[in-house]
Chain A
Amino acid sequence: MRARLARARVGIAGCGGLGSNCAASLARAGVGRLVLADFDLVSEANLDRQFFFLDQVGEPKALALAENLRRIDPALALDPRVLRLEAASALELFADCDVVVEAFDDAAAKAMLVEAILGRAPGKWLVAASGLAGYGRSGALRVRASGRLVLCGDLATEVGPESPPVAPRVGIVANMEANAVLSILLDGGAGEEA
């Protein structure tokens, strides 16, 4: 299992609450190669749920995440990119990835990546997240597989003033994404029904 994961390459689109925690789980599980993309900088407000530390505030998230993952395993092959992904750049950056993890915050960016990967990279798997705000209701979080698209979350709870993203639910969905990636890499399927 470790040997197969060590050879795999996974793209992480967004290194915030979902992407940073998903990447950490994939690294710990033994996925050997990760492409990390995010345009943003670590802020103090991110520390409530994202896999960064106080002394990294102000650093680009992609670079700070690579630094943290190397502390888990210095042998990881990491390709951190500080850029805002668009459809064309995502297709190019993730061309050699077996699976892409959608880990954006913004719903419009999520839709952009789903349309780009599913519409224009037909052989590629996309693991996406939708609906993870607030706390409690762990049982409402599900994994749905539809062809090469896997969707994790409750598909309903939007982030807003009354329902901020909070560490446990974000972490659960980030790990649902990581778990689906492992099933795809090891079994060739998401291991879930629609």
Chain B
Amino acid sequence: MTISLNAETENYAEDSLTIREILDRKRWSFPLIIAKLNGELVPRGDYASRRVSGGDALELYHLVSGG
């Protein structure tokens, strides 16, 4: 599948992956992330169940402490 990840094109052999699987593939290990799938916020508890498929636009942003 081909998806848009943070506005960049990303290709995977699979037809779909969960958000959690994509985070693992990218080795993005920050504990707190904002995820938006096709513009909608995905609750943190749904990363392992929400599937991303071809044509989807996924946005993943790290939240790190500091202010």
Residues of A within 8 A of B (CB): 14, 16-19, 103-108, 110-111, 114-115, 118-119, 128-133, 144, 146-147, 149, 151, 153, 155-159, 165, 170, 193-194
Contact = CB atoms under 8 A, between A and B. Distances in A.
B13 interface: no
A146 B59 contact: yes
25 contacts: A16-B67, A19-B67, A105-B66, A107-B63, A110-B63, A110-B65, A111-B63, A114-B41, A115-B41, A118-B41, A119-B41, A119-B43, A130-B62, A132-B67, A144-B61, A146-B61, A149-B34, A149-B36, A151-B34, A156-B64, A157-B66, A158-B65, A159-B66, A170-B66, A170-B67
B32 interface: yes
A107 B65 contact: yes
Nearest to A131: B64
A159 B61 CA distance: 17
Given A194-B6, A194-B59, A158 B66 contact: yes
B32 A107 contact: yes
Given A108-B32, A119-B43, A159 B65 contact: yes
Contacts of B67: 14, 16-19, 103-105, 129, 132, 165, 170
Contacts of A107: 31-32, 63-65
Interface residues of B, number: 18
Contacts of B66: 105, 129-133, 153, 157-159, 165, 170
Interface of B: 6-7, 31-32, 34, 36, 39, 41, 43-44, 59, 61-67
A147 B39 contact: yes
A8 to B, nearest CB: 22
Contacts of B34: 111, 114, 149, 151
Given A146-B59, A194-B7, A157 B41 contact: no
A131 B64 CA distance: 6
A108 B64 CA distance: 9
A158 to B, nearest CB: 4
A17 B41 CA distance: 27
Contacts of A16: 67
Contacts of B39: 146-147
